[in-house]
Structure 1
Amino acid sequence: MIVSRLIGGLGNQMFQYAAGRALAERLGVPFRIDRRAFGDYKTHAFGMACFNAPISDAPSYLVPNMPGEGRFHRIFRRFRPGPLRLYAERTFTFDEQVIGLPDNTYLDGYWQSEKYFGDVAEVIRADFAIRNPPSAANLRWLEQIASTNSVSLHIRRGDYVSTPAAAAFHGTCGIDYYERAVTYLRDVTGLDLVAYVFSDDHDWVAANLKLPGAMYLVRDNDAASNYEDLRLMTACRHHVIANSSFSWWGAWLDGREDSVTVAPLQWFAGNTPDPRDLLPARWVRM
C-alpha cells in the first residue's frame, strides 16, 4: 500500500494525490490517502471529493505519527501491522528516488512536478475528471468556450496579496505578464483569441486588466465550487497560468498536444525554492 498525506489548497492536494497514485500504479498495489491534517487546518478544506478519483482513507493503525495516540492504540498495534515507512520531501526539485520507492511507503510532501506522475498521465487525468455535471451557468460557459479560440487566464491574488508572509514568498504576476502572454499566443497561433479570465479577486481584475481582443471575466464560481473553474480552464484551447498550482492543473489537465501554455518565469518572489522541475519543458516561460 502507498499512502499520501494531503494538505493545502486543491492544487496542492492534486499534486500529493498524483505522486502517490502514480507510485501505487507502478507497483500494482493499493493507494490510500491521509487527510487527518484537515481536522485543524483552517486555510483550505479537503477538496478531492469533486473528482472521479477513487478516494480511500488509509487505516489509522498504518499511518505514522498518529496524533493523540493513546494506550489503546499502542496495544492495538501489537496485533496489526506496524506503520508505513515515511518518506518526506527533501527538496522542491524532482527527487528521482520517489519513482522507485517500495510498497508500504507513506509520502509526506508537495511533489510539485509532473515527473512524479507523467508516465501515468492518462490515469491521473481520468481520476481528475469532475464527478458531477456542470451547473447551468457553467454549461453555458463551456458551450461558449467550445465555440471560440479560447485561452484561459488565471490571476491569483487572495492571500498572495492580503497575507504579508505569503506575499513575500509568492509574489504576484503583473498585468504586463498577462498582456505579453496573450500577445504572444495571438502571434504564435495566428488566431483572434478570446480570453476567459479566472480569479479570486474579480473586482480587482475588472478594474485593472485590459487585454488585446475579447475578454470575459468568469464570476459564477466561488471557493466552494472552484472545481468548476478548473473544468472551464481545462476546456480552453490555450492557457496563461499564474504562479499557482491551481491554474497549473487547469492547463496540465488539457492533454491536447497542440495546446500552448504560458507560465511565469518568476514563480516565487525570491530565489528559493528552485522551481526548475515545476513547469513542464513544453510550456513557454515568460
Structure 2
Amino acid sequence: MIQTRFLSGQGLGNQLWTYAAARGIAEHLGRPHVVTGRDVFKGAEFLDIDFGEDPEPDAPVARFNEALFYDPELKYFSSGYDIRTEHLPPRVQLDGLFQSERYFHGREMELKHWIRPKAEVLSAAERYRDVCVLNLRGGEYKRHKALILPRSYWDMAVDVLRREAGATEILVVTDDPGYARAFLPEFPVLEGGVAECYAALMGAKALAVSNSSFSYFPIKTRSDRPFVVAPEHWARYGHPARRWAMPANLYRDWHWLSPAGELRSYEACRDAAEADAAWYEAEYSVRIPPSMGIGLPRSRFIPAGLKRPIKRAAARLFPTRIG
C-alpha cells in the first residue's frame, strides 16, 4: 500500500502533486493507493479524486521521506526524482514535494482520470477559450523575494503570447488580486475563487505561468495542449548561478523563458536540468530532521495571532511588497 497524507499547510498545487506522484508510484509498483487528510483537501468543492481504501487499516505503515537538498547559494530546498521510490517497503507513507513527472512512470495521460474537475468547472472553462492567461503568484511569495518574478518576465511573456499565440485578450489569474492590480495595472484581473481560477487555466487559449505548482494540473489534464510560457530555472529565475532550483520542475511541452528573453524548449533545457540534479546527488550528503529549521525564516517564531493582523494591515499599505 502507498499512502499520501494531505496537510493543512499545503497549497492545492502541492496537494495534487503529492497525490498524483504517489498514485503513479502505486500504479508502477502494482499496489493500492490511499489518501489521508481528506478533511484538509483544498480542492474538495470542485475536484474529484480517488481517496482509496486501506486493505489492512490496522497494519503498521512505514515512513519514506523524499530526498531534499538545501542549496545555501540559492537558499532553497531542491528536489529531483528520488529513484528509491522504485523499491519501497510494502506499506509506506510518502512525505515530500514529489514534483517530478518521472513519478508518473509514463502515465501522464491518466492524470485526467486521477484528477477530475466537476461539471461546473468544465463548463466555466469554456468561457476562456479565446483568452490568454497570466497566472501571477503573489500572497506569501512576497515574503520570499527570490520567488517573485520581475516585471520584465511578464513583459517578455506577453510579447511571446502575442507573437506565438496571437493573444489579443489577456487576463490575470492570481491568488492575490490586490497585488495583481498594482503590479500589472494594464490587464484585467479575474475576480473569483480558486475554482474559477482553475477553470480559467483549463480553458485558456495560451498561458504564461509563474513558478507555482498550482498551474500544472489544470493545464496538464486538458484534452488539448495549449501554448505555455514558464520561467527558466523555475524558483530562482534570473539567479546568477543559473541553476534549476528544483530540477523536478522542468516539464514537457512547455516553453521556458530566460531573463535575456530567449525562449527554450523542454528538450533544450533537459540536459542542464539533469546535470543540476546529478550535481545535487553527487555533492550533497548530509541529512537532517526538518525540526532543525534549516532554511526557514526567523518570522516563524512570531506568534500567529500577532503575525496575521500585522501582515493584513501591511499588505493593504504595500500590496506589491507584502503578502
The TM-score normalised by the length of structure 1 is: 0.73
Could you list the runs of 5+ residues in structure 2 that have no partner in the other structure?
69-78, 258-323
Residue 3 of structure 1 deviates from its aligned partner by 0.6
What is the CA–CA distance in structure 1 between the aligned matches of 2:191 and 2:246, rounded to whole Å?
30
Does residue 152 (structure 1) correspond to residue 124 (structure 2)? The answer is no
1:283 to 254, 275, 289: 254
Aligned residue in 1 for 2:309: none
Aligned residue in 1 for 2:222: 254
Label 1:183 to 1:99 Cα distance change in 2 as closer, same or farther (>3 A): farther
Residue 33 of structure 1 deviates from its aligned partner by 1.4
1:33 to 16, 32, 35: 35
Does residue 265 (structure 1) correspond to residue 232 (structure 2)? The answer is yes
Aligned residue in 1 for 2:190: 218
Conservation of the 8 A alpha-carbon contact between 2:207 and 2:229: yes
What is the CA–CA distance in structure 2 between the aligned matches of 1:220 and 1:89, rounded to whole Å?
35
| Percent of aligned positions that are identical | 25
Residue 31 of structure 1 deviates from its aligned partner by 0.9
What is the CA–CA distance in structure 2 between the aligned matches of 1:88 and 1:255, rounded to whole Å?
33
Residue 266 of structure 1 deviates from its aligned partner by 4.2
AA in 2 matched with 1:51: L
Residue 145 of structure 1 deviates from its aligned partner by 1.5
Could you list the runs of 5+ residues in structure 1 that have no partner in the other structure?
39-44, 63-79
Aligned residue in 2 for 1:17: 19
Does residue 241 (structure 1) correspond to residue 209 (structure 2)? The answer is yes
Residue 250 of structure 1 deviates from its aligned partner by 3.3
Aligned residue in 2 for 1:85: 62
Q: CA RMSD in A?
A: 2.8
What is the CA–CA distance in structure 2 between the aligned matches of 1:126 and 1:237, rounded to whole Å?
22
Label 1:241 to 1:192 Cα distance change in 2 as closer, same or farther (>3 A): closer
SS of 1:217's partner is coil
What is the CA–CA distance in structure 2 between the aligned matches of 1:183 and 1:142, rounded to whole Å?
24
Aligned residue in 2 for 1:196: 171
Label 1:249 to 1:205 Cα distance change in 2 as closer, same or farther (>3 A): same
1:110-163 Cα offsets, whole Å, 9 max, x none, are 1011111152222222222213524xxx95x634312x2x322111111111x4
AA in 1 matched with 2:132: V
Aligned residue in 2 for 1:205: 180
Task: Point out 4+ residue stretches in structure 1 off by more than 6 angstroms.
Answer: 270-273
The TM-score normalised by the length of structure 2 is: 0.65
Does residue 182 (structure 1) correspond to residue 158 (structure 2)? The answer is yes
Conservation of the 8 A alpha-carbon contact between 1:130 and 1:227: no
What is the CA–CA distance in structure 2 between the aligned matches of 1:47 and 1:56, rounded to whole Å?
18
Aligned residue in 1 for 2:49: 53
Residue 100 of structure 1 deviates from its aligned partner by 4.9
What is the CA–CA distance in structure 1 between the aligned matches of 2:167 and 2:197, rounded to whole Å?
23
Residue 51 of structure 1 deviates from its aligned partner by 1.8
Aligned residue in 2 for 1:97: 84
SS of 1:197's partner is strand
Residue 188 of structure 1 deviates from its aligned partner by 2.3
What is the CA–CA distance in structure 2 between the aligned matches of 1:205 and 1:20, rounded to whole Å?
34
SS of 1:268's partner is helix
2:107 to 101, 111, 120: 120
What is the CA–CA distance in structure 1 between the aligned matches of 2:244 and 2:175, rounded to whole Å?
24
What number of residue pairs does the alignment pair up?
Answer: 240
Residue 24 of structure 1 deviates from its aligned partner by 1.7
Label 1:180 to 1:118 Cα distance change in 2 as closer, same or farther (>3 A): farther
SS of 1:52's partner is strand
1:240-259 Cα offsets, whole Å, 9 max, x none, are 111111123333333524x2
Label 1:88 to 1:284 Cα distance change in 2 as closer, same or farther (>3 A): same
What is the CA–CA distance in structure 2 between the aligned matches of 1:19 and 1:109, rounded to whole Å?
10
What is the CA–CA distance in structure 2 between the aligned matches of 1:16 and 1:90, rounded to whole Å?
14
Conservation of the 8 A alpha-carbon contact between 1:93 and 1:274: no
Residue 99 of structure 1 deviates from its aligned partner by 4.0
Label 1:3 to 1:264 Cα distance change in 2 as closer, same or farther (>3 A): same
What is the CA–CA distance in structure 2 between the aligned matches of 1:179 and 1:101, rounded to whole Å?
45
